[in-house]
């Protein structure tokens, strides 16, 4: 079908640029689900939710003889453990995706960055993916139960932080 015909059949929602909200999620769903719940309560169901996770590969790997640095083990042992780590991580991220589908979110995706430094991984993701809306956890807040997550309106070079007590969580 020609591009002109396709565009004439789309509704007003599809013609607008799809709004994307990136949500930085942690490995353990129990620790990160409150932040995602806040996003789901405070965005449109037509908004695209991108679950951003910076995966830190384990530096030490368990073996039958104890814990060893990855550099001290055979490549196949490290590869097998890394594969298991990634499988567990994707299972956990699937739980976040399921939370999105339960509230009928239009579209939810996973974006995984593998890096030793979480801050560097987030920064590189913002730049490389052109992220303009990023929600991060407020777990460090002593009033966590009533704080909203940190919301960053991103320009690849400049951040302005919006932080508020909303009582939503």
Q: What is the pLDDT along the chain (169 residues), one digit of tens a residue?
A: 333 333 333 344 443 457 888 999 988 888 888 888 888 888 888 889 999 999 999 999 998 899 999 999 999 999 999 999 999 999 999 999 999 988 888 898 999 999 998 888 888 888 889 888 888 875 434 444 444 455 554 443 333 333 332 332 2
Q: According to the model, what pLDDT value does residue 69 have?
A: 93
Residue closest to 59 by CA, chosen among 68, 48, 46: 68
Q: Is 48 exposed, middle or buried (0-12, 13-18, 19+ CB in 10 A)?
A: middle
Measure the CA dihedral 16/148/24/159, to 10°: 70
Q: According to the model, what pLDDT value does residue 138 have?
A: 55
> Which residue has tokens 């589908």?
101
Q: According to the model, what pLDDT value does residue 168 have?
A: 29
| 158, β-bridge pairs | 155
Q: Are 49 and 100 in contact (CB under 8 A)?
A: yes
Q: According to the model, what pLDDT value does residue 73 have?
A: 92
């Amino acid at each position: 079908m020609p591009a002109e015909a396709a565009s004439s059949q789309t509704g007003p929602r599809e013609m607008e640029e799809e709004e994307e909200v990136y949500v930085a999620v942690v490995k353990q769903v129990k620790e990160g689900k409150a932040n995602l719940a806040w996003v789901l309560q405070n965005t449109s169901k037509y908004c695209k939710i991108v679950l951003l996770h910076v995966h830190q590969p384990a530096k030490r790997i368990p073996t039958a003889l104890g814990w060893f640095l990855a550099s001290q083990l055979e490549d196949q042992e490290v590869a097998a453990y890394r594969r298991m780590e990634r499988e567990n991580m994707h299972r956990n991220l699937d739980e976040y995706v399921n939370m999105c589908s339960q509230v009928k979110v239009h579209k939810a995706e996973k974006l995984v960055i593998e890096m030793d430094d979480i801050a560097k991984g987030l920064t590189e993701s913002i730049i490389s993916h052109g992220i303009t809306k990023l929600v991060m956890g407020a777990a460090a807040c002593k009033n966590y139960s009533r704080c909203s997550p940190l919301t960053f309106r991103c320009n690849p070079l400049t951040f302005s932080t919006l932080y508020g007590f909303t009582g939503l969580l």
